[in-house]
Structures are given as C-alpha cells and as structure tokens.
Structure 1
C-alpha cells in the first residue's frame, strides 16, 4: 500500500449506515403504489446498484413495474428517513481524521443523496467537492466507469487507488478499473457470508472495522 495515492469510498453502507433505511424506503413506496412484498431480502440483492438498476432488478424479482412518474417518491421517502435516523458507520470519523491521503466518494447514488447523507452525518467536512456519482458516467457498478472517472478527476492513476466497498458490484467495478478493493463489512446490513463474498469477487481483504482497514493500509497513509 506504500504507493497508494487516493482512497475512494463508496457512500451507502461504507460511510453511512444507510442500507436498512433505504430498504425501508423502497418497501414503503412500493406498497404506497399498490405493490407490496418488496422486503429487505429483495433489496439486499440490489445493494451497490443505482436507482434505475434497482427498479429493474425489483421488477425482475417480483414482477412489479414501478411507475416512472413516481420515481421521485423513492428519494423523498429515503430523504425523510435519512434526515431522521441516518448515522455514520461506527468509528469512521476518527479513521477519516487520521487519514493522510487524498480521498473522495464514488457512489451509485445521486449527487443530492450523497450530499444529504454526508451533511446529516457531519461527514461532509472530510470530502468537500470530491464527490462523484454514477449519474456522471454512462454505466453504473459493476462497470468500472465511476471509479475511473473519480481517479481522473482526482489526478491519480487507477493502479494507485484503493477502493473501499461493501457490495460485490462495487468490488467488481474497482477490480475492473485496475484498483485495489477492500471489502467493508461493518454496516448493520452485513451478514455471515459477507466477507467471503466480497473476497470471492476480488477484494484483497474484507474488514469489519475501520481499525482493521487502517492497519491494512499501514502507517504511511494513517497519522499516529
């Protein structure tokens, strides 16, 4: 890790413990539009995807075709839940305070959602304008587009980037971009096989705490 020049963070499930709240939002909105049965087990299969791909995946899994005119309802419900209950992942702030390398966010979520998530959790101070969304590129994760775009904008070669991801889609995208992927399993949506799955999709290692990730990155990128 001595040649690392940039740490790229996914947002949902890595910086913020958002996945259970996001799943609840989808469940509520689908039920509101007469399409019950979209439970957290279905949403779990969509973690790491952008909204359009999630809607398509839910359709494939349940047969529910969510009306296009109501897409904004999903973010409205999600935003309300985030404003009320969203928290950063455990001990993240102390990790970011010690991180000496440049960092950015590369997320499948919209820019508005990323900025709201960082603002309500107080994490926005760590990233400034270094925030990138899959809405800025042609293809979402597991394509490498968002990671390559973030690296280019930050002025760092892909081979010198480390990506921290909680989804196998994100890990696959990072590996396809020629970057090192670290799996994060510290979110409340994690499950017993989570670490193994991330590693099987190309993560160099999977860690359940930010302390573990800091130890893996080494002293060269972390202040004492």
Structure 2
C-alpha cells in the first residue's frame, strides 16, 4: 500500500502541454519591446513563474517600456492558441483513469485558464470541485500556500500528500510546505529539477507504479 493518501497535480506541464505555447507567446510579445528572447530561453526563465514575476523579468530585458495592457494581450493570445493547439500531457488521461487515490489540481494560473485547458483536453471531469488556483488566495509558488490549501480542503496533512510538479518554483513550494514531490522531467530540457524533488520521472506511464511503490 502506498504511503500517500492524496495526489496534488500541477496543471501546466503536468496535466496539459501548455508550456511551449504560453512561453512562446510571452517571448514573442516581449520581443516587440526589445527583449530578444527565443523559446528555449523563455521556458527556462518563465516556467513556473507567476505572471507578475514574468513581467518583472521582462522589464529587465526590454529596450522600451511594455504597455499597461501587456498581460491582457498575452491572456487573449494564449486563449486563442490554447483553443487551437492545447493537448494533454502524454499518458496523463490513463493515469487519472487508473489512480485510486483522491486527487486535485493546484496551479499558479487563474482558475478560468485552468478550467479552459482541462476542458479542451478532456480532463476537466476528473477535477470538478477540486481546482485550486493561486489567484484565489493571492499567493504564488514557490509560496506553499496553494498546496497547503489544497491538502486541507481535500482533508489531508501535507505528509499524507504527494505533489506532482514540473517547475523549480513548484517543487520548491511543495518541499517548503512539507510535501513529498515527484518532479516530472520529460520537458525539463535545462535540468532545473535535477537532484531536487523527492523523486524524478520522465514518463507519465511510470507514475501509478511509483506511487504504489512509495513506502
């Protein structure tokens, strides 16, 4: 029997394959103001960050001021892209069908974005009533607050829960909250998670077995 009683999933990069899409749009927008970012660099510096943090980083890279509607423009363009191109992470649908433990999702993104992408990828039915957004509480990863809120609402202590994350800030937040965290590294091209999570894995087909083997 697994040591875990509940699983808390991150959304972007763990449930839905959105990182390249969203960070590509962010880079393209920032480049209009002189940032000179490629997609690889954008993923490295923005992955797992709140929009506020992303904008602060962009301000240090641009050669002309970004407009007040920068975030609104990004949100609009990203929704358009998600509707055309978003896909579930390979293997995650099978994981959710087979997972016998209670589970939920805790994301740095707004709940409407989370809900849209989960719906577009056919995953929303697994998470209705169990969506936890940093925007709701006004605290973002690496602050552990969203994980603590999710665990408490689900009825479990941090040590009873497993967090599944793909970003350094998400892993940091989970560890700070007293959670074990499995780092999903399939798209960790810069090895930012190496040696940091409780355990690393690169194929969603491994997850159920890893959870069941945890003692």
TM-score (normalizing by structure 2): 0.91
Q: 1:76-126, CA deviations, whole angstroms, 9 ceiling, x for partnerless residues?
A: 100111110110011111111000111111011111110111011001011
Look up the match of 1:209.
203
Distance 1:48 1:210 in 2: 19
Look up the match of 1:13.
13
Distance 2:68 2:195 in 1: 35
User: 5 Å matches for 1:41-52?
Assistant: 41-52=41-52
Distance 2:116 2:2 in 1: 33
User: 5 Å matches for 1:79-158?
Assistant: 79-158=79-158
2:167 matches 1:200: no
Contact 1:26 1:38 in 2 (8 A): no
Distance 1:42 1:93 in 2: 28
Distance 1:100 1:139 in 2: 30
Q: Cα offset for 1:28? A: 3.1
Contact 2:22 2:78 in 1 (8 A): yes
What do you get for the CA RMSD once the two structures are aligned? 2.0
Quickly say closer, same or farther: Cα 1:43–1:131, change in 2 above 3 A: same
Q: Cα offset for 1:170? A: 0.4
- Say how many residue pairs are matched: 213
Contact 2:185 2:193 in 1 (8 A): no
Structure 1 spans left out of the alignment, 5+ residues: none
Distance 1:28 1:186 in 2: 24
Distance 1:28 1:77 in 2: 11
Look up the match of 1:39.
38
Contact 1:11 1:106 in 2 (8 A): yes
Quickly say closer, same or farther: Cα 1:148–1:139, change in 2 above 3 A: same
TM-score (normalizing by structure 1): 0.87
Q: Cα offset for 1:31? A: 4.3
Contact 1:6 1:101 in 2 (8 A): yes
Q: Cα offset for 1:216? A: 1.0
Q: Cα offset for 1:35? A: 4.0
SS at match of 1:198: coil
2:166 matches 1:166: yes
Q: Cα offset for 1:25? A: 1.4
Distance 1:92 1:149 in 2: 23
Which ranges of 4 or more aligned residues in structure 1 deviate by more than 6 Å? none
Distance 1:176 1:61 in 2: 30
Q: Cα offset for 1:23? A: 1.5
